[in-house]
Amino acid sequence: MSTSDLEARITRLEDIEAIKQLKARYAQICDDMHNPDRVCSVFAEDGIWESADFGLAKGHAEIRALFANFQKMFSFSQHNMMNPIITVNGNHATGVWYIMGPWTYTETGEEKWFALRYDDDYVKQNGEWKYSHLRVAMRMVADRHSTPTA
């Protein structure tokens, strides 16, 4: 294996790890009361946050406003990210993630389990990975205290 091949493989692995850390920071921001003051740190300036179930925001100002709304909507969330499939192509990458976690609605006190899928596009800017387009799809919602039926 040539030195350039080895360097390319190491760069790819470092990029994948950096994207995993980006997703972990995103989850931490969400679980920090959907912190609108921190969320833009993980998005490109023209980034997009999109979900048929929760809304669409383009650019930092709209993303911040969306998360301010989430902060009012949810009093608790726990983003348990899993099963990443990340593909890197130069300064662009894609990722598919799944999440299962509890959420509590502020107004009603309802406690729900959400299963979601993330389809992400990333861009590397000034050596740092950011979201260029984050898509969230609801896969399942269940009451947190429901009793299974036989």
Task: Give domain status of residue 150, yes or no.
Answer: no
For the chain, the residue count is 150
How many distinct structural domains can be found in the chain? 1
Q: How far apart are alpha carbons 26 and 49 in whole angstroms?
A: 12
Task: Give domain status of residue 149, yes or no.
Answer: no
Task: Give domain status of residue 148, yes or no.
Answer: no
Task: Give domain status of residue 83, yes or no.
Answer: yes
pTM for the complete prediction? 0.93
Residue 1 predicted with pLDDT over 90: no
- Return the CATH number at 69: 3.10.450.50
pLDDT tens, 35-60?
Answer: 999 999 999 999 999 999 999 999 99
pLDDT tens, 80-137?
Answer: 999 999 999 999 999 999 999 999 999 999 999 999 999 999 999 999 999 999 999 9
Q: What SS3 string covers 15-84?
A: HHHHHHHHHHHHHHHHHCCCCCCCHHHHEEEEEEEEECCCEEEEHHHHHHHHHHHHHHHEEEECCCEEEE
Task: Return the pLDDT at 145.
Answer: 78
pLDDT tens, 22-39?
Answer: 999 999 999 999 999 999
Task: Return the pLDDT at 37.
Answer: 95
